[in-house]
Amino acid sequence: MKTSTNRLILTLLIATSLQSLLAQPVTISLDKVNGIDSLFKAAYPSAGPGGVLLVAQNGMPIFKKAYGMASMELGVPMNTDHRLGIGSMSKQFCAVAILMLQDEGKLNIKDDIRKYFPGYNTHGKNITLEQLLSHTSGIPSYTEQHGFDALVKRAAPISRLVEFFETPALIFEPGSNWSYSNSGYVLAALVVEKLSGMLFNEFLQKRIFDPLNMNETSLGSGFAIPNRSGEYAQVPKGMMNMETTYDWYWAYGAGQIVSTVNDMLKWDEALYSGKLLKASTVNLAHQSYILDNGKPANYGLGWAVGELRGRKLIQHGGAIGGFRSGGYRIPDDHVYIVMLTNTASSNTIKLGNGVLSILYDIKPLKENDKLKVDGKEASGVYESVNLGLRLQGNFTEKPAFLTLRADSGKLTLQRTGTPVTKLVAAGADSLFDPSNPWVLMKLIRDGNGKVSGISPISLIPTYAPIRFNRKLSDQVPDIKKVLPYDSAAWYKFSGIYEDEFGRRDIMSIKNKTLVMRNEDTGEETVLEQTGAFQFRYMGVDEELIFNMAKDGSATGFSTYNGTRDIIMRKVVDKYGKGL
């Protein structure tokens, strides 16, 4: 009995010591700051588009620095006061606006949305405001729907946008699953307007921006905004200015805010002070929604929610046009990290993982050379339930697949419509892509010890519940043989092809290969012939099939890229003649 008591005391002492250790705020040393600085210098060379980073603790900037150029055309370097689009980090502002109205007794997040929009087509289901904000409504995200390519380029009434996404069926029963949906935030912004009697931008200005002295923050528009940086994307033709490639209206409620790192720190501090919301309401926003199956969605109301080194990690990223962003708050340490960039080529998720790994001493995955994964056991075809933050059903009713191949001891993974990814072993049944050492691909076994699926698991928490991609077959399809160069046969495929939204691809023979070049970006793709009228994109699991006329000429082609069917019509033949 005495031994058991001593063990219990020892256990409690260890637990108390661990809790005390975890409670110690992280120390942001000079070495850590230098490591972060080196990371961003490498990501944003001085002569290219850039970004701004701020790391703060207890409301005070520890490190703040600008990198690269704000304007490539004018040769203006980025500075820490430049305004940039924050993309989907705007969602937290929309969520807070809804929660402010709840604190004032004007709504309840458990309300059915038909209370505010009686005519909205919920397809007979109950959808709550909470489900809109937590991406659990089942409403497809309009930005991934067929036809959005044309919608994004022109202004239209918000009612037109709502009609666009309310017509398709829900992709799951509300509350049963998670799929990132910009559509929910358009509806949430309309609720704010209806209950406040103000336009959404007026509410944000009067109730949030002005009280917090966020003087450099506004909604993006086609009008000039003082001190706003340019926005770019690196394409084969060179650096592409993205300002004219979209209209800001479509991001209404979901991603329309332009801000600075200084103003974003004011915003983060306001969540501690009670200026906007009760402390209990902030906690509500930062708690994960629990799905009907009892599992966490790892997303609250406007923020993704997870755990890092025993601490709560609250985060969100953003993308609009050429802007990319990322914001991370760790309340236990009163730490806030925000990065804003003006290049679509920036991977702010990897950069964010890099910053957090430096601050919290998290080691990336490393290859275990001594461990060999049984390729025969792992190889096969798996379902692909999602692409990024969206379920496959948001894109199309068609399935997509993950093919895991073992060849001469080497493993590769390839999704329908994407290039091959090399995989190496990190541990037993654990694989990862060396170019992204923060995500583990875990082989899942059934009760009989057989590989039944694969799940990606992030070392640093991210959005969404952990997905399980079920194994469909142990058999891996053969890779089709590539036919030899045949200029006479290929010549009939040459010409200009156009889709229904005006995108054009130029097909031509170049260096004894059939090449497809995008007219806007200059991006070139080599095609490999696998049949009389069948080709595939080199290195990509995507087949292209030409449609042929009776006279043997090509009239168009079709392909499925894993998210949608693409149909291209030939509009100019090989001689430059319009069709």
Distance of alpha carbon 398 from alpha carbon 401, whole angstroms: 10
Q: How confident is the model at residue 240 (pLDDT cuts 50, 70, 90)?
A: confident
pLDDT in tens, 361-377: 999 999 998 877 778 89
Is a pLDDT exceeding 80 seen at residue 219?
yes
- Tokens at 454, concatenated: 């694969």
Is 1 in contact with 9 (CB distance < 8 Å)? no
Is a pLDDT exceeding 50 seen at residue 143?
yes
Whether residues 422 and 534 fall in one domain: no
Point out the domain boundary residue: 327, 360, 393. 360
Please name which of 222, 231, 248, 217 lies closest in space to residue 323, comparing C-alpha atoms: 231
pLDDT in tens, 384-438: 999 999 999 999 999 999 999 998 778 999 999 999 999 999 998 999 999 999 9
Q: Which comes out higher in pLDDT, residue 15 or 243?
A: 243
Whether residues 266 and 408 fall in one domain: no
Q: What is the mean pLDDT of residues 90-110?
A: 98
Backbone φ and ψ of 493, nearest 5°: -85, -15
Whether residues 217 and 132 fall in one domain: yes
- Tokens at 33, concatenated: 């700051």
Q: What is the mean pLDDT of residues 563-573?
A: 94
Whether residues 191 and 238 fall in one domain: yes
Q: What is the pLDDT of residue 222?
A: 62
Q: How confident is the model at residue 21 (pLDDT cuts 50, 70, 90)?
A: very low
pLDDT in tens, 27-51: 999 999 999 999 999 999 999 999 9
Q: What is the pLDDT of residue 513?
A: 93
Q: Which comes out higher in pLDDT, residue 238 or 94?
A: 94
- Assigned domain for 479 exists: no
Whether residues 440 and 513 fall in one domain: no
Q: How confident is the model at residue 225 (pLDDT cuts 50, 70, 90)?
A: confident
For the chain, state the CA radius of gyration.
26
Domain tally for the chain? 3
Distance of alpha carbon 114 from alpha carbon 116, whole angstroms: 5
Q: Torsion angle of alpha carbons 336, 268, 309, 312, nearest 10°? A: -170
Whether residues 214 and 83 fall in one domain: yes
Residue with tokens 């229904």: 500
Range(s) of the domain holding residue 216: 30-360
CATH number at residue 273: 3.40.710.10
Q: Is 339 exposed, middle or buried (0-12, 13-18, 19+ CB in 10 A)?
A: buried
Angle at 240 between CA 234 and CA 241, to 5 degrees: 130
Q: What is the pLDDT of residue 575?
A: 52
- Assigned domain for 12 exists: no
- Tokens at 352, concatenated: 């964010």
- Assigned domain for 518 exists: yes
Is a pLDDT exceeding 80 seen at residue 490?
yes
Distance of alpha carbon 432 from alpha carbon 423, whole angstroms: 5
Whether residues 133 and 273 fall in one domain: yes
Pairing of the two strands 554-560 and 543-548: antiparallel
End-to-end CA distance of the chain: 92
- Assigned domain for 11 exists: no
What mean pLDDT, rounded, does the chain reach?
91
Q: What is the pLDDT of residue 579?
A: 55
Point out the domain boundary residue: 292, 325, 360. 360
Whether residues 304 and 237 fall in one domain: yes
- Assigned domain for 10 exists: no
Residue 274's CB is within 10 A of a number of other CB atoms, namely 11
Whether residues 204 and 315 fall in one domain: yes
- Assigned domain for 16 exists: no
Whether residues 441 and 556 fall in one domain: no
Q: What is the pLDDT of residue 4?
A: 37
Whether residues 493 and 352 fall in one domain: no
Q: How confident is the model at residue 1 (pLDDT cuts 50, 70, 90)?
A: very low
- Assigned domain for 258 exists: yes
b vs e for 545-569, b when ≥16 Cβ sit within 10 Å of the residue's Cβ?
ebebeeeeebebbebbbbbeebebe
Whether residues 246 and 308 fall in one domain: yes
